[in-house]
Amino acid sequence: MMFDVLIVGGGAAGFYAAIHIAEQQPSWQIAILERGKQVLTKVKVSGGGRCNVTHAEFDPSELVKNYPRGEKELLGPFHTYASGDTVAFFEERGIPLKIEEDGRMFPTTNSSQTIIDCFTNEVNRLGITVLKNSSVTAINRIAENEGGWEIESIRKTYRTRKVLVATGSNPKIWNLLQSLGHTIVPPTPSLFTFNIKDPRITGIQGLSTPARIAVLSKRLNNPKITLALKSVSAEAVKLEAEGPLLITHWGLSGPGILKLSAWGAVLLNQYKYQFKIKVNWLPEYYEGAVLSLLMEIKEVEAKKTILRTKAVDLPRRLWVNLVKAAGITDGVKWADVSKSQLQDLALQLTASEFEVDGKSTFKEEFVTAGGIDLKEINFKTFESKLLPNLFFAGEVLNIDAITGGFNFQNAWTGGYIAAKGISAK
């Protein structure tokens, strides 16, 4: 059977595109090929099962700042279709979204099943075929003069005029696309937490506090990379982020760390996830200002013990651990503490160094940097510049975002614009 459009990948971008194509071209034969038994599996687990649909950032030039890869390329697309359009899409289908304090947006039902039901109802209403257990094994161009494509799956072979690839981070599909001439930027993990064993954060898991975190540069064995860093001192800051820091059983997590892991995905992979970070637990202050504050408290609270007098706005158990790390023991009073001990404490509060040894995946958010080189895509239509009638959407491209609904927004925007490009041709 000849289809008008075949969509490879039954995830967020694939479904969103299919719905928009079918609405613009009701007579077309459209099918979605999904390799698994279930569709929309990432939608189901996203946001802890609540589905973080998008983010309440409605200015395209601010929205793009959340994409370590894709920032420049998405500016035009976000002017065409962005968070506000996503909200309207769901509201038109009876699914209002709510904004949480941090800007993340969820269905008011707090259930990802609401989003899945919406997509499956739309696909049924519009007569789109969904073919599950149909892992794609080959993507071939039909002879130039005929145009179109042949897609081989483990079940059967299909012909189609146009193809949309929306398979996310799938190495097998990347290999097929590479054999067609596309360049694949090698995948590296993004959005991960840092594994750290350190007495300062042991036994206080679950604490969260604002912080500024910096990754310190290190010498690499790769001569090419070392040359680029020759002028950088051994402890120079390579990357910096600010945001809530969460102490966990295995180290550090939270939005501040996740931002660093996204922006530093390629560098931290080169470091083999072994590097040093510097944490300022009082991001509003620098070391000198904190030392002055501690000296003042020494005068005012002379009779009190340091451990019991939490001098700054920090969780108490963290304060105790940092005081001990500065070499100040249980019974020491402010009156008896030396200036050098207070200098050590100011350093612990504003520039604690930690050794990171490995990473852990953040919840179910498997996000990967890497994919089809963005230079090979026309971002007005999300069509391949190399191969006519081949379109892409979502994380199959070398686009990824920090956590907060931005990866889904990339899927919705790419799906919508690819649908427009496909429908217009």
Report pLDDT for 63. Answer: 98
Q: Hey, how many other C-beta atoms are within 10 angstroms of the C-beta on 201?
A: 23
Report pLDDT for 213. Answer: 97
Q: Where are the beta strands (DSSP E) in 191-295?
A: 192-195, 208-216, 237-247, 251-253, 274-280
Report pLDDT for 147. Answer: 76
* Contact in structure between 383 and 4 (CB atoms under 8 Å): no
Report pLDDT for 231. Answer: 37
Report pLDDT for 186. Answer: 96
Own/partner contacts of 104-107, CB < 8 Å, gap of 24 or more, are 104/47, 104/52, 104/55, 104/56, 104/404, 104/405, 105/52, 105/53, 105/54, 105/55, 105/56, 105/405, 106/47, 106/50, 106/51, 106/52, 106/53, 107/50, 107/51, 107/53
pLDDT tens figures, 139-188: 999 976 667 999 999 999 999 999 999 999 999 999 999 999 999 999 99
Report pLDDT for 229. Answer: 40
Contacts of 125 (CB under 8 A, 6+ apart): none
Contacts of 409 (CB under 8 A, 6+ apart): 54, 55, 63, 82, 83, 86, 401
Which residue positions in the chain have pLDDT lower than 50?
223-234
CA distance 398 to 386: 16
